[in-house]
Structure 1
């Protein structure tokens, strides 16, 4: 039986996986609501859709507004988010210990997110990750984004690790779909954001993990290729 070991490389989703960014996003939505004469939205009402992206958050914040009108607000949302970036959110409890464990065991780690690349890169120094994160692929780095596997495959190529020797960690079904298509073992981050009707057990991830701290142990990771 092969002994447990950390993956040679780990790629992560960002929002809802590494970082609890919902407090930043609720600040954005509530600024937009206030500007339109509306009261504040509760954080817990927005949290389930954060991993779905800007349009999903605008839909949750303004459910009575036509989608075509909300589409015109996307750039405003992103501009306000840039101002709120990293002011309220922070890494989930246990993330820093887990990253330190990976580094101590010689694993490379990086980020593949659907967040625009310029925003993801701007967040790195705020977290102290700018020299630790080996690769960062944003939602607009390539012509396609998750659930397409290309961003994951591109990240693996950049760090020089075969896809099958990487693991991918994410809190959304599209993360697991992308990992499976890329031939990467996957970890479902159950601590992240998801809708009430989502069933992460149906996503067919290789392992499901409740807390980031569990990933400080090699045995928690799915088996990977050489």
Structure 2
């Protein structure tokens, strides 16, 4: 198994550290029902794209004249859906093990900062665990564009050779490759193994225990 024991480990959030699919689905469903009198997801957007899009981008596709209204409704509604947010097994222990060993985890997500901090709080992962947090507000471009990852490198003073990116979607693989960084892709998130193989990630792993092994993180005995 390839080992990426590099000093910087940059993580995606949704589908990688936290399982937010049910919360996002509930939030969108409520907004669609209450403001658009319609069902979610919209038939006009392929299912595989829905969870990779920022809410404002999705609303721009379905109701371009109401983006601000719908985005605000989404923002206000999301906190009432957080009971559906969960953390993937062993992820918190893995982050802790990386920090304990002197490694520097970072977070690079297409999600907005407000909802990112909500998710981390629910998952029990402290914001202070990350050497940098790059969210939707920080770059105009989103993954699969490399701009968010490049900003994380700039903020930390790291080079692509110093880091590895970890994510669960094709957009993560493409962004990491464009930034000159290897990518470890996860099959336990929002995308299946067969969805990821065509993008040729450097490594594919099926759970956080295998991810810890690839990253060279020594999990506590209770989390193995």
Question: Is the structural similarity TM-score above 0.5?
Answer: yes
Number of residue pairs the alignment of both structures matches: 207
The two structures have a TM-score, normalised by structure 1, of: 0.76
The corresponding residue for 1:151 is: 148
The corresponding residue for 2:19 is: 20
The corresponding residue for 1:62 is: none
The corresponding residue for 1:99 is: 95
After TM superposition, give the deviation of residue 70 of structure 1 in Å. Answer: 7.3
Aligned structure 1 segments of 4 or more residues deviating by more than 6 angstroms: 36-41, 55-59
Given candidates 150, 162, 170, the residue that maps to 1:173 is 170
| Unmatched segments (≥5 aa) in structure 2 | 42-46, 217-224
Residue correspondence of structure 1 range 119-138 to structure 2 within 5 A: 119-126=115-122, 127-138=124-135
After TM superposition, give the deviation of residue 111 of structure 1 in Å. Answer: 0.7
Take 1:134 and 1:105, find their aligned partners in 2: how far apart are those partners?
14
The two structures have a TM-score, normalised by structure 2, of: 0.77
Instruction: Report SS of the residue matched to 1:200.
Output: helix
After TM superposition, give the deviation of residue 80 of structure 1 in Å. Answer: 1.1
| 8 Å CA contact 2:131, 2:156 repeated in 1 | yes
- Offset from partner CA, 1:76-95 (integer Å, 9 cap, x none): 223211x2363321211121
User: Is 1:184 aligned to 2:181, yes or no?
Assistant: yes
| Alignment RMSD | 3.2
Instruction: Report SS of the residue matched to 1:73.
Output: helix
After TM superposition, give the deviation of residue 209 of structure 1 in Å. Answer: 0.8
Residues 128, 85 of structure 1: alpha-carbon distance in 2 compared, 3 angstrom cutoff:
farther
Moved more, 174-183 or 22-31: 22-31
| Unmatched segments (≥5 aa) in structure 1 | 60-64
Take 2:49 and 2:92, find their aligned partners in 1: how far apart are those partners?
23
Take 1:143 and 1:215, find their aligned partners in 2: how far apart are those partners?
30
After TM superposition, give the deviation of residue 28 of structure 1 in Å. Answer: 1.3
